[in-house]
Amino acid sequence: MKVNAKYASRLAVAPMMDWTDRHCRYVHRLLSRDTLLYTEMVTAPALVRGGAVHLLAFDASEHPVALQLGGSDPEELAEAARMGAAAGYDEINLNVGCPSDRVQSGAFGAVLMKDPALVARCVQAMQAAVEVEVTVKCRIGVDDQDPEVILPDFLSRMSDAGVGRVTVHARKAWLQGLSPKQNRDVPPLDYPLVLRMKERFPHLHVSINGGIASLAEARGFLDAGLDGVMIGRAAYHAPADILCAADRLIHGSGPDSDPVAAARAMVPYVDAHVAEGGTLAQVTRHMLGLFAGRPGARRWRRILSEGAHRAGAGSALMLEALEAVTSATAEAAAAAE
Ligand SMILES: Cc1cc2nc3c(=O)[nH]c(=O)nc-3n(C[C@H](O)[C@H](O)[C@H](O)COP(=O)(O)O)c2cc1C
């Protein structure tokens, strides 16, 4: 089935290094059928020069799923995009927002906000290499750039280069003096600027990102005229809050999902992963927040964080933790009567 990533991008879970790996995406997909999922950033040099094709592996159930690439060499990015498209990704996204040192040294990520002509060459080379849509995730600016000036310039160059869909993390990145983590919190958010960009470039599909913590907020941005909303940390830390009602409330497509059913559905996945030599913790570390804010959340988290890394741990431990959740839910319901 050909999946429409553009349609799915009304709500997306952000690319997050070390977090949105394939195990995480598998869990998220059980919670929402139609939300767009992104890989962690994969660098073009790792794929093209390092031959790290294992980084492209994903499960067929993850569709619609986008590959995020980092890089600044048009030819290398084109080759990496080709590899991603051949692996079956529904979209190839270029990272123009990540401020980490390692990434800066290779001239990838947010530093590219200073060189929109190079970004345009990169996306054109990528588009020429693949049929799937090439998209861009950017900031509103970096360092002492004036977002009011450079963001419209950046977006019009992207549009001229043939990019039809962008996600804007609505804050600057400060490339000196802030850690990557601080760069996700310290520079102030400017949502109105992103809304104005949608008015100025009505033909461009604009998604907003940064600090959005609920589906109601996401809905508000869509109602205000934006085309999509991307949620990162909130979706990771409390996936059920963001994803269980997303198909109904955002995509208008399906019933709510249930985190208990999702946890049960992870049993065969976990069994297969452990049988191949993987550990339970590699999967369940992405599930620790599954019951955040619900009865039994603490017991679930404790059982898994204490036991999932131990030798021999498997789906039985996950079911034991789930039992703690279902009994806490029953206790809470009884107490409420
Ligand atoms: C642990 C972590 C890793 C991240 N890795 C990436 C990445 O690989 N590529 C990227 O474009 N952004 C990355 N980001 C930034 C997120 O995609 C997102 O833009 C940012 O967290 C703001 O959204 P939020 O407030 O909804 O979390 C990362 C964020 C976190 C928390």
Question: Are residues 310 and 189 located together in one domain of the fold?
Answer: no
Residue 148 domain-assigned?
yes
Q: What's the confidence (pLDDT) of residue 1?
A: 45
Mark whether 24 is an active-site residue. Answer: no
Question: Are residues 173 and 277 located together in one domain of the fold?
Answer: no
Q: What's the confidence (pLDDT) of residue 176?
A: 86
Q: How far is CA 27 from the centre of its chain?
A: 13
Residue 254 domain-assigned?
no
- Which whole-number Å values give the CA distances from 103 to 41, 43, 233, 237, in the listed order? 10, 9, 20, 25
Question: Are residues 44 and 145 located together in one domain of the fold?
Answer: yes
pLDDT (tens digit per residue) in 283-310:
999 999 999 999 999 999 999 999 999 9
Residue 218 domain-assigned?
yes
Question: Are residues 242 and 270 located together in one domain of the fold?
Answer: no
Question: Are residues 108 and 23 located together in one domain of the fold?
Answer: yes
Catalytic residue, chosen from 24, 98, 122, 138, is: 98
Q: What's the confidence (pLDDT) of residue 101?
A: 62
Question: Are residues 181 and 96 located together in one domain of the fold?
Answer: yes
Residue 77 domain-assigned?
yes
Q: What's the confidence (pLDDT) of residue 106?
A: 64
Residues annotated in the binding site for FMN, as ranges? 15-17, 68, 137, 169, 209-211, 232-233
Entry pTM: 0.97
Residue 106 domain-assigned?
yes
Q: What's the confidence (pLDDT) of residue 195?
A: 98
Closest CA to 48 of 73, 22, 79, 20: 79
Q: Where are the alpha helices (DSSP H) in 276-314?
A: 280-284, 297-307
pLDDT (tens digit per residue) in 114-161:
999 999 999 999 999 999 999 999 999 999 999 999 999 999 999 999
Task: Give the mean pLDDT per block of 10 residues along the chain (337 residues).
Answer: 81 98 98 98 95 96 98 97 98 93 70 96 98 98 97 98 98 91 94 98 98 98 98 98 98 96 98 97 98 97 97 97 97 92
If you write DSSP's letter for every residue of 204-261 in order, what string do you get?
Answer: SEEEEESS--SHHHHHHHHHTT-SEEEE-HHHHHSHHHHHTTHHHHTSS--PPP-HHH
Q: What's the confidence (pLDDT) of residue 246?
A: 98
Q: What's the confidence (pLDDT) of residue 48?
A: 96
Q: Tell how far the Cα of 137 is from the centroid of ligand 1, in angstroms.
A: 10
**Residues 283, 289, 295, 298, CA torsion sign:** positive
- Judge residue 154's burial from the number of C-beta atoms within 10 Å of its C-beta, 0-12 exposed, 13-18 middle, 19 or more buried: buried
**Hey, whose CA ends up nearest to atom 15 of ligand 1?**
16
CA distance 76 to 57: 19
State the total domains in the chain: 2
Last residue of a domain, one of 187, 220, 249: 249
**Hey, whose CA ends up nearest to atom 7 of ligand 1?**
16
Q: What's the confidence (pLDDT) of residue 3?
A: 63
Closest CA to 43 of 64, 13, 73: 73
Pocket of ligand 1 (CB under 6 A): 14-19, 40-41, 68, 95, 97-98, 137, 169, 184, 209-212, 231-234
- Which residue range(s) make up the domain with 327? 259-336
Q: Tell how far the Cα of 210 is from the centroid of ligand 1, in angstroms.
A: 9
Q: What is the CATH number of the domain that holds 135?
A: 3.20.20.70
Last residue of a domain, one of 209, 229, 249: 249
Which amino acid type is present at position 319?
A: L
Atom of ligand 1 nearest to the CA of 213: 26
